[in-house]
Amino acid sequence: MYITLVFSSIIFAKILLLIVNAIHKPREGVFLRIPEDKDYRYWSLRNTIKRWPIWLAHRFPFPGFLDNVCFKMFGVKTKISNSLFEGWVDTEFIDFGKDVVVGQGAIIQSAVIVGNLLIIRKTVIEDEVRIGSHAIVMPGTQIGHNCILAANSVTTVGQVLEKNYIYVGVPAKKFKRNFFFEDGLEDKIGHVEDVEALRERYEQIYVKRKDELTRKDRKELKREKKEEERKRFDIEEIDDFDDGFNI
């Protein structure tokens, strides 16, 4: 009964959207947030039509299935392999690749109101992207393949996030390359029989308790940490210099 209610709501909303879009086609741009502006008026009407079926689909007890169906019906390009149900996703001018994960409370936007302006731009998120919890993707953002937007980070309107990098902050800035799926972890650990054996093997290779470290080990870790901080600081200084030069 619940699925029937959701699908009937989606179909009814789709018919209304076809009529509304035939009268005034959705388009990208910057528009005045006043009733006299047709783009703003019809954007508000489209959102009102979609609200009920999206609310129903988002509360389906089995996550992901109905959300993706609803997005596809309303014009969002997405795949069944995507996990979008934990966040809030706009319903037009958004293209998702495959194996995209949106964290809890994250927001993916193709439209935003700034003061008395409505900004509508296409947002593109490519394959194998991870968007952290409570992150905000602003309209026009393009996130490259295998990119991570860290939790609580915010992109700017029209920002391009380079593939294979991690972005952090407000506004989001390039932090470091994303090696989480490329560091050969499986080859180093090898074959293990069960979870307990996996944990022990992982600790042997990657984990050293502080009280087990020798004085020489502690000095080496301290030196490596300082070297990483210095390199990161140098990269941030270069980025700041380039930004100032471009301005």
Is residue 188's pLDDT more than 70? no
* Domain extent at residue 192: 185-246
Same-domain pairing of 193 and 94: no
How much is the pLDDT for 174?
86
Same-domain pairing of 100 and 160: yes
Query: pLDDT digits over 124-176, tens only?
Result: 999 989 999 999 999 999 999 999 999 999 999 999 999 888 899 989 998 88
Same-domain pairing of 26 and 135: yes
* pLDDT classification of 221: cutoffs 50, 70, 90: confident
Same-domain pairing of 195 and 166: no
Same-domain pairing of 164 and 196: no
For all residues of the chain together, what is the average pLDDT? 82
How much is the pLDDT for 159?
92
Which phi and psi (to 5°) does residue 9 adopt?
-65, -40
Same-domain pairing of 84 and 198: no
Query: pLDDT digits over 30-68, tens only?
Result: 999 988 899 999 999 998 998 888 888 887 777 667 788
Q: What is the pTM of this model?
A: 0.68
| Number of domains into which the chain is organized | 2
Is residue 185's pLDDT more than 80? no
Edge-to-edge strand order for the sheet containing 142-143? Answer: 94-96, 123-125, 142-143, 160-161
Quickly count: other Cβ atoms within 10 Å of residue 189's Cβ: 15
Q: Which of 152, 177, 202 is the last residue of a domain?
A: 177
Same-domain pairing of 189 and 171: no
Same-domain pairing of 167 and 203: no
Contacts of 140 (CB under 8 A, 6+ apart): 110, 119, 121, 122, 123, 157, 158, 159
**What span, in angstroms and rounded, lies between the C-alpha atoms of 172 and 217?**
35
Q: Which of 129, 148, 177 is the last residue of a domain?
A: 177
Q: Which of 161, 177, 193 is the last residue of a domain?
A: 177
With pLDDT > 70 as the criterion, what percentage of the chain qualifies?
Answer: 80
